[in-house]
């Protein structure tokens, strides 16, 4: 499931777990190794490598990046693709309105995660674990948020937007405008993550115990004493030997014939 398809807390958690949950496995040398699935591949390779091959195709670049939202790099790549589409629209005499609004909306939503260059994305963990449907339902109109506080936008982006929509009445971020919503989601995500960590610890302990138990069984087999050697067949007693010697051995037909 893509992040842009998530509607519930359960869906966004399941999606995140499918990418980042750690699993423990035994290694050939008897150790333990943890691994995570990681983001889905594109064409059998890491998604960003595939995206780099699509630089000349803005639509393909946009689609690949969108599939990997909300990874930080995907926002930048979508913005780059949209700028290329807008330039193409302007060059060919097409109306760039749809692409321009898409770029603005993208930057406004990203301002939940990163408000400024020094912010270091403290809100990313909240945005990442908030269903997209809940985020998308908010109003990101030009006059509510403006553009000067949106770090995803470049100078030329803002120039294009002012030319299209005029000067906004205010400049802020989604995180500031919807502070109550953000704090509510932050508290919910904190509770959700704590419960998830507890489940993960129990899962890891069970996986590690299972690996150690399997290794213990292998060691028991390796250290088991070799089977006892077979005992020699018991020799007949002297009386049995005497009895066998006293009983003439019956000769076969050819032995009797040739007197042997």
Residue 35 pairs in a beta bridge with 23
Q: Looking at residue 227, what is its pLDDT? A: 62
Q: Looking at residue 197, what is its pLDDT? A: 85
Q: Looking at residue 167, what is its pLDDT? A: 97
Q: Which residues contact 54 (CB under 8 A, 6 or more apart)?
A: 60, 61, 64
- Using the 8-state DSSP alphabet, how is residue 209 labeled? H
Please give the average pLDDT of every successive group of 10 residues along the chain, which has 260 residues: 97 93 78 83 91 94 97 96 98 97 98 78 89 98 97 98 97 97 96 88 80 67 59 48 46 41
Residue 34 pairs in a beta bridge with 24
Q: Looking at residue 229, what is its pLDDT? A: 57
CB distance 104 to 142 below 8 Å: yes
Q: Looking at residue 247, what is its pLDDT? A: 46
Q: Looking at residue 257, what is its pLDDT? A: 34
HEC sequence for 26-50: ECCCCCEEEECCCCCCECCECHHHH
Q: Looking at residue 4, what is its pLDDT? A: 97
Q: Is 30 left (phi over 0), alpha (psi -120 to 50) or beta?
A: left
Q: Looking at residue 7, what is its pLDDT? A: 98
Q: Looking at residue 224, what is its pLDDT? A: 58
């Amino acid at each position: 499931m893509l992040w842009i398809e998530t509607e519930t807390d359960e869906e966004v958690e399941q999606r995140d777990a499918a990418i980042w949950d750690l699993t423990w496995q035994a290694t050939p040398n008897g150790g333990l190794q943890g691994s995570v699935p990681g983001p889905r591949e594109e064409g059998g390779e890491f998604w960003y490598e595939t995206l780099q091959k699509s630089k000349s195709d803005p639509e393909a670049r946009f689609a690949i990046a969108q599939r990997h939202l909300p990874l930080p790099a995907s926002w930048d790549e979508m913005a780059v693709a949209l700028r290329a589409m807008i330039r193409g629209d302007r060059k060919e005499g097409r109306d760039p309105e749809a692409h321009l609004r898409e770029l603005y909306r993208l930057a406004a939503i990203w301002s939940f995660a990163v408000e400024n260059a020094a912010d270091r994305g403290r809100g990313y963990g909240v945005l990442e674990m908030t269903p997209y449907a809940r985020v998308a339902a908010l109003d990101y109109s030009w006059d509510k948020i403006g553009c000067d506080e949106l770090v995803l936008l470049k100078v030329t982006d803002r120039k294009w937007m002012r030319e299209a929509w005029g000067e906004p009445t205010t400049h802020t971020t989604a995180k500031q405008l919807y502070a109550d919503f953000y704090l509510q989601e932050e508290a919910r995500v904190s509770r959700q993550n704590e419960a998830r960590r507890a489940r993960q610890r129990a899962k890891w302990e069970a996986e590690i115990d299972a690996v150690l138990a399997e290794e213990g069984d292998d060691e028991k087999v390796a250290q088991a004493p070799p089977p006892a050697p077979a005992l020699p067949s018991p020799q007949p007693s002297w009386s049995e030997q005497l009895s066998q010697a006293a009983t003439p051995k019956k000769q076969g037909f050819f032995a009797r014939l040739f007197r042997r």
